[in-house]
Chain A
């Protein structure tokens, strides 16, 4: 009577892929994301020049056949720096998001499933971090540990984890009292098993969507920190750093700033379109499946 069908997850994945390809915005977003990702992955091969190589004699040249985006104030090829920058952006974006996901998942599960006092404590912690302005936190951390990729990651992760943790906590709290969890306990399942097999699979969906939409936010955050001089130290060509350097030379050549800003826009648009499409697809799908 009720037709047996392929496991729901398989069907969902292929349906999802097909729907993304049909949605023009989603497709556009996917293309942009792919461009950024490929650029980041193959940066060392694609970049026409060594992004760090100085050639002061050719400084601030306009775009030409040999330098597609021109050169910056120290003669470095802007395009190569942009491409190398995508590697940094991707690195920071993905690793920060991944770490935040793990941290948020862990803390959220603890808060939601653990004893009340732990929940209260963690919530207090989340609120405290949330109330702290990011820039001040960055300043504090950088002063303590000196500027580097690791400190940037630390700042970004610290700021992002509370949000994810809250999300996971809410899902955990609502699932915790579901009858199937009670049934698992009645079977003799203990907390680790319940958390891993039953709560995480149900809590992780919304988290993944939020996280994917956060990647551009993280990248932009790093760019912002770099622009203020608090990010990845020079000469690493993060986009934010390009903006920082380029803005004082903007009357000589606008291309440095363009080189720093345009990729940020492209990345943010791409991930946002893709993420929104994903979110829209997961919502009505649930409704239709009912």
Chain B
């Protein structure tokens, strides 16, 4: 793990592993499946400093959504540690409930994450009710939160199906803010939003960060917004962090060939600079049949014999900046 600056981390994750069963124990024994598990998150370590934004970038099968859910305790972990403000992820239901006051989540599909038969008021007041904060003036709290996200107070009476995508997202933000969390996990905050309005939600999130000192863990596949909204980032491939460090450094000097390929794959809105060739061909291999050695070697333009055999450990290319690659780009070979 790269040596960080001396800041008390808000969120610390160490060697995290999350796996899913692919077959029940009886069937696995009968079909001699070997390992009836699939590793969605494998050996992930990172730190999020308070009041900062950490972006997690990955494509399908990378495990980024699973990682987000593991942090908030929605999926069980099978190895490693998660610590928030120095305290480990608890096991009991009651303790987990406390955890979920400090960490809140915003979901990818804003409309689907709002219970259809509840009004906006009821949805935003829900966190208070769940955690027994009924002594508070819920109406006032709802009004305060709606105001914080820039929605008019009369939206409180609406139902989710009466909201546009952008409005539903804002309700999601308001609900996440209810108990004044210190970290918000945002899963694809701009999915489904037009380019001309996605800035609204991102600017709102930035404003809330400034005013409330919030930290964000943003999960996204959109590299172009990552550059603007995050301080630190990680690139995930088949459950592992392949590159990890300050955003500006990664964009300026990507060390891992996958990162480089992702950046090259971003379409450029300039007809004079069309990509001549495709750098990354093929698809992500199935998680059920992981390639040996460095899992990226099947698509890597620079793969060598060592890559096919040995799993690379994260290697620091600069302070804070690490890549899992035997031959990182730009480094002395």
Known contacts A1-B164, A186-B74, A188-B97; A179/B113 CB under 8 A: yes
Are A179 and B109 interface neighbours, CB within 8 A? yes
Tell me the bound Cα distance from A95 to B215 in angstroms. Answer: 55
Are B114 and A183 interface neighbours, CB within 8 A? yes
Q: How close is A97's CB to chain B, nearest CB, in angstroms?
A: 24
With a cutoff of 8 Å between Cβ atoms, the chain A residues found around residue B225 in the complex are none
Tell me the bound Cα distance from A278 to B127 in angstroms. Answer: 36
Q: Smallest CB-CB separation from B109: which chain A residue?
A: A179
With a cutoff of 8 Å between Cβ atoms, the chain B residues found around residue A183 in the complex are 105, 107, 113-115, 172
Tell me the bound Cα distance from A183 to B114 in angstroms. Answer: 8
Are A180 and B130 interface neighbours, CB within 8 A? no
With a cutoff of 8 Å between Cβ atoms, the chain B residues found around residue A180 in the complex are 112-116
Instruction: Tell me whether A5 is interfacial, beta carbon within 8 Å.
Output: yes
Are B127 and A188 interface neighbours, CB within 8 A? yes
Partner of A4, one of B105, B157, B161: B157
With a cutoff of 8 Å between Cβ atoms, the chain A residues found around residue B118 in the complex are 197-198
| B-contact bits for A178-216, CB 8 A (1 contact / 0 none) | 111011111111100100011001100000000000000
With a cutoff of 8 Å between Cβ atoms, the chain A residues found around residue B109 in the complex are 179
Are A184 and B126 interface neighbours, CB within 8 A? yes
Known contacts A1-B164, A2-B162, A4-B154; A186/B126 CB under 8 A: no
Q: How close is A65's CB to chain B, nearest CB, in angstroms?
A: 56
Are A190 and B93 interface neighbours, CB within 8 A? yes
Are A187 and B116 interface neighbours, CB within 8 A? no
With a cutoff of 8 Å between Cβ atoms, the chain B residues found around residue A188 in the complex are 96-97, 99-101, 127, 130-131
| A-contact bits for B114-137, CB 8 A (1 contact / 0 none) | 111111000000110011000000
Instruction: Tell me whether A235 is interfacial, beta carbon within 8 Å.
Output: no
Contacting A at CB under 8 A, from B76-119, are 93, 96-97, 99-101, 104-105, 107-109, 112-119
Q: How close is B170's CB to chain A, nearest CB, in angstroms?
A: 14
Instruction: Tell me whether A8 is interfacial, beta carbon within 8 Å.
Output: yes
Instruction: Tell me whether B251 is interfacial, beta carbon within 8 Å.
Output: no
Tally inter-chain residue pairs, CB-CB below 8 A.
74
With a cutoff of 8 Å between Cβ atoms, the chain A residues found around residue B96 in the complex are 188
Are B113 and A187 interface neighbours, CB within 8 A? no
Partner of B100, one of A1, A178, A186, A289: A186
Are B159 and A8 interface neighbours, CB within 8 A? yes
With a cutoff of 8 Å between Cβ atoms, the chain B residues found around residue A198 in the complex are 115, 117-118
Residue among B69, B72, B115, B158 with max Cβ neighbours from chain A (10 Å): B115
Tell me the bound Cα distance from A15 to B28 in angstroms. Answer: 55
Q: How close is A192's CB to chain B, nearest CB, in angstroms?
A: 11
With a cutoff of 8 Å between Cβ atoms, the chain A residues found around residue B208 in the complex are none
Q: How close is B96's CB to chain A, nearest CB, in angstroms?
A: 7
Q: Smallest CB-CB separation from B158: which chain A residue?
A: A4
With a cutoff of 8 Å between Cβ atoms, the chain B residues found around residue A284 in the complex are none
Instruction: Tell me whether B300 is interfacial, beta carbon within 8 Å.
Output: no
Are A5 and B162 interface neighbours, CB within 8 A? yes
Interface bin, chain A:
20 to 34
Are B74 and A193 interface neighbours, CB within 8 A? no
Instruction: Tell me whether A133 is interfacial, beta carbon within 8 Å.
Output: no
With a cutoff of 8 Å between Cβ atoms, the chain B residues found around residue A2 in the complex are 162-164
Instruction: Tell me whether B221 is interfacial, beta carbon within 8 Å.
Output: no
Tell me the bound Cα distance from A180 to B160 in angstroms. Answer: 11
Q: How close is A272's CB to chain B, nearest CB, in angstroms?
A: 28
Partner of A187, one of B117, B119, B127, B157: B127
With a cutoff of 8 Å between Cβ atoms, the chain A residues found around residue B69 in the complex are 182
Instruction: Tell me whether A115 is interfacial, beta carbon within 8 Å.
Output: no
Q: How close is A225's CB to chain B, nearest CB, in angstroms?
A: 39
Tell me the bound Cα distance from A60 to B39 in angstroms. Answer: 82
Tell me the bound Cα distance from A179 to B126 in angstroms. Answer: 16
Are B113 and A182 interface neighbours, CB within 8 A? yes
Q: Smallest CB-CB separation from A290: which chain B residue?
A: B161
With a cutoff of 8 Å between Cβ atoms, the chain A residues found around residue B100 in the complex are 186-188
Tell me the bound Cα distance from A178 to B164 in angstroms. Answer: 19
Contacting B at CB under 8 A, from A1-23, are 1-2, 4-5, 7-9
Tell me the bound Cα distance from A184 to B163 in angstroms. Answer: 19
Q: Smallest CB-CB separation from B129: which chain A residue?
A: A193
Are A185 and B157 interface neighbours, CB within 8 A? no
Q: How close is B108's CB to chain A, nearest CB, in angstroms?
A: 8
Partner of A179, one of B107, B154, B155, B164: B107
With a cutoff of 8 Å between Cβ atoms, the chain B residues found around residue A9 in the complex are 117
With a cutoff of 8 Å between Cβ atoms, the chain B residues found around residue A201 in the complex are 117
Are A187 and B162 interface neighbours, CB within 8 A? no
With a cutoff of 8 Å between Cβ atoms, the chain B residues found around residue A179 in the complex are 107-109, 112-113
With a cutoff of 8 Å between Cβ atoms, the chain B residues found around residue A8 in the complex are 159, 161
Tell me the bound Cα distance from A94 to B65 in angstroms. Answer: 48
| A-contact bits for B197-219, CB 8 A (1 contact / 0 none) | 00000000000000000000000
**Can you list 5 A-B pairs, Cβ within 8 angstroms, ordered by A?**
A2-B163, A4-B162, A180-B112, A186-B74, A187-B100
Chain B interfacial positions (CB closer than 8 Å to A): 69, 72, 74, 93, 96-97, 99-101, 104-105, 107-109, 112-119, 126-127, 130-131, 154-155, 157-159, 161-164, 172, 175
Besides the known contacts A202-B116, A202-B117, 9 further A-B residue pairs in the complex with CB atoms under 8 A apart: A4-B157, A183-B105, A183-B172, A186-B72, A186-B104, A188-B96, A188-B130, A189-B126, A289-B161
User: Top 5 closest A-B pairs, CB basis?
Assistant: A188-B100, A179-B112, A183-B113, A186-B105, A188-B97
